[in-house]
């Protein structure tokens, strides 16, 4: 997986590659799908959600340039796989999942695997995690029409956010934002296809952010 799926596609951060090698992806998918766990494709984790393909996880994490001292927020815990990758790299990881069953199972899984630097809670990721802010990096594992304003506000100066932006059901743009002088400087990285953000960040209840 490391050489063909990641390094050959410009995942060059050695710390990210090591983290991807260390975290057992098969423990984060449904038992009936474990045979396919190391293929480069998304897989079902139940509740209508998926675990992202390894390349996309590695790409989004690499974009954050996570340092060992960093505090990172993840929106969309899913099964906990990306949170585990982040936990290998950062000092503290805060991850929010809106679906109660996934939040509970991911928290238990991460604890069982010994990730003591991860805090998981059930809630609407649109709001971020205000009590733990500011964050050096934020990664959003669901597509949104725009970047949620609370996430921009909770990003520290010089911090980075990686988020899929676009219309639900259509190809989205993976956006990298970097906060400079209180404003978010953004650029498009790659076309992606993520499940849509729900809650306040959903298309039906959108409040546009002032970047």
Q: Is 188 part of the annotated catalytic residue set?
A: no
Q: Which of these is catalytic: 52, 79, 101, 181?
A: 52
Domain regions of the chain by residue span: 2-200
pTM over 0.85: yes
The helices-and-strands tally (H runs, E runs) of the chain is 5, 9
From first to last of its 211 residues, what are the pLDDT tens digits of the chain? 788 889 999 999 999 999 999 999 999 999 999 999 999 999 999 998 999 999 999 999 999 999 999 999 999 999 999 999 999 999 999 999 999 999 999 999 999 999 999 999 999 999 999 999 999 999 999 999 999 999 999 999 999 999 999 987 789 999 999 999 999 999 999 999 999 998 886 654 444 444 4
CATH code of the domain made up of 2-200? 3.40.50.150
């Amino acid at each position: 997986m490391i050489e063909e799926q990641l390094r050959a596609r410009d995942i060059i951060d050695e710390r990210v590659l090591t983290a991807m090698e260390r975290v057992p992806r098969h423990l984060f998918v449904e038992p009936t799908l474990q045979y396919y766990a190391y293929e480069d494709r998304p897989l079902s984790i139940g509740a209508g959600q998926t675990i992202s393909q390894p390349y996309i996880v590695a790409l989004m994490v690499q974009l954050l340039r996570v340092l060992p001292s960093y505090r990172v927020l993840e929106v969309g815990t899913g099964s906990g796989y990306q949170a585990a990758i982040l936990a290998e790299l950062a000092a503290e990881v805060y991850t929010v999942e809106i679906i109660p069953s996934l939040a509970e199972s991911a928290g238990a899984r991460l604890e069982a695997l010994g990730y003591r630097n991860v805090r998981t809670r059930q809630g609407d990721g649109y709001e971020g995690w205000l009590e733990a802010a500011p964050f050096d990096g934020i990664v959003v594992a669901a597509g949104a029409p725009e970047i949620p304003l609370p996430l921009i506000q909770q990003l520290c100066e010089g911090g980075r956010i990686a988020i899929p932006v676009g219309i639900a059901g259509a190809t989205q743009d993976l956006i990298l934002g970097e906060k400079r002088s209180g404003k978010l400087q953004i650029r498009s990285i790659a076309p992606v296809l993520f499940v849509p953000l729900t809650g306040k960040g959903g298309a039906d209840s959108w409040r546009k952010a002032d970047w």
